[in-house]
Amino acid sequence: MKNLVAFPVLGLVFILQMAILSRMTLLSGTVDLVLLVIVSWSLQEQVESSWHWAGLAGLLAGFTSGLPPYAPLLGYLLTVGMARLLLQQIWQAPILALFSVTFFATLLTHLVTFVGLFISGTLLPVGDVLSLITLPSVFLNLLFILPVHAVIRDLALWVYPVEELV
């Protein structure tokens, strides 16, 4: 039952991403709100369904975007794997883990997207992709991760309440 909350949340996130945030660009980079939600959800210790969220988000992104369908799915699943691994290793500094995972997940998803487009026959200059798309996207994702994390942390505490010790 707790996994069903992913459908309305990710549906709303995709609507916001496609309708509003995709129009807000810095050079050619945009905020990837779906990635930020996946990162924030994966870094919550009590959450058990982060793999499900990544799979659903990857399928939705593969269906709604012009990318090869496997690229967003692979990127989001690798992001969750990185976040869960980092959560086990750096549990003392959650803000460091949040910014680190956001930085590397953005680079990783852009790399997977670039390789997927290369395999499908779209040739893009690497220098232009890095300077005009990837670096501005990293900056915007790092700028937006704190408010997204605050909302997702509250959602995670609502879905997975922490029992109080008396």
Sign, CA dihedral 112-65-38-146, equals positive
Q: CA Rg, the chain, in Å? A: 16
- pLDDT for the residue numbered 92: 64
- Using CB atoms within 10 Å of the CB of residue 131, give its burial: 0 to 12 exposed, 13 to 18 middle, 19+ buried: middle
Question: Exposed, middle or buried: residue 92 (CB in 10 Å: 0-12, 13-18, 19+)?
Answer: exposed
What is the value of pTM for the model shown?
0.90
- Which range among 18-22, 89-93, 102-106, 160-164 has the greatest average pLDDT? 102-106
Q: For residue 18, what are the domain limits? A: 2-165
| Average pLDDT of span 108-135 | 89
Structurally, the chain folds into a number of domains equal to: 1
Q: Tell me the percentage of the chain whose pLDDT exceeds 70.
A: 95
